[in-house]
Amino acid sequence: MSHATNEVMIEIKNLKKAFGEHVVLKDISLQVNKGSVVAMIGPSGSGKSTLLRCINLLTVPEHGSIRVGAQDFTFGSKASKPLKDRELAKFRTNTGMVFQHFNLFPHMTALENVMEGMLTVLRKPKAEARAYALELLQKVGLSDRADIYPQRLSGGQKQRVAIARALAMRPGVMLFDEATSALDPELVGEVLNVIRSLAADGMTMILVTHEIAFAREVADQVIFMRDGVVVEAGPPSQVIDNPQEAATQSFLSRFNG
């Protein structure tokens, strides 16, 4: 069941990004409504991960604008000012991001990893941070692993801790960059189940994924990207089951064979 509302939570206009001569994003515009799940699919090198990193301002675009909730940034115009670290930090607390690789602190337990941002960034009292971290570990099915260090966790467990850590900042938006691609196939399902439960809770999410069946199941909107442009966008019933563009058809034929 979709929780999408008519309120636009993420708005991207005319976004462009190049690395040297290589133009990675070519004039991307899109909207994501609050409570909706957007899946981005497409071949490697199409710009999906770069777009996600731009939304979180881990990569700064050359041109265009990004709005997440009430915060917006414009790039490339004479009016746009360099971003201050404090502005960036505030912006990123509202956009939780989960990467292919878990980037957990190896010297901290699962519980301490989830607590860390609440203590250092949000300045929460330790007891409050601990209580919420335990709640989140329970949410991702890891309440029995709270005192375990990352080296003793499976890949799927590490990724679920990483999701709990991102959720600890109480973001308005969650971004997943190929969150299952580094996992052994038998561990993929446990991470997808957590994402599924977040969708059921009405979390606004953008997923870059190669899990086409999962995208069909959870997404309200599917975006197919290739060569730095949005080739096709719409509900899964259109983009995945009945693609209009030859490039989309060609890409999906690999998964339907």
Total structural domains within the chain: 1
97-108 residues labelled b (16+ CB within 10 A) or e (exposed): bbbbebebeeee
178 lies in a domain? no
185 lies in a domain? no
The model carries a pTM of 0.92
22 lies in a domain? no
Mean pLDDT by runs of 10 across the 257 residues of the chain is 78 94 94 95 93 93 92 79 78 90 94 96 95 96 96 95 96 94 88 93 94 92 96 95 95 80
72 lies in a domain? no
- Residue 80's pLDDT is 63
- Residue 2's pLDDT is 63
- Residue 181's pLDDT is 87
- Residue 256's pLDDT is 66
Q: Quick check: 161 and 146 in contact, CB under 8 A?
A: no
245 lies in a domain? no
135 lies in a domain? yes
14 lies in a domain? no
244 lies in a domain? no
Range of the domain at 144: 98-170
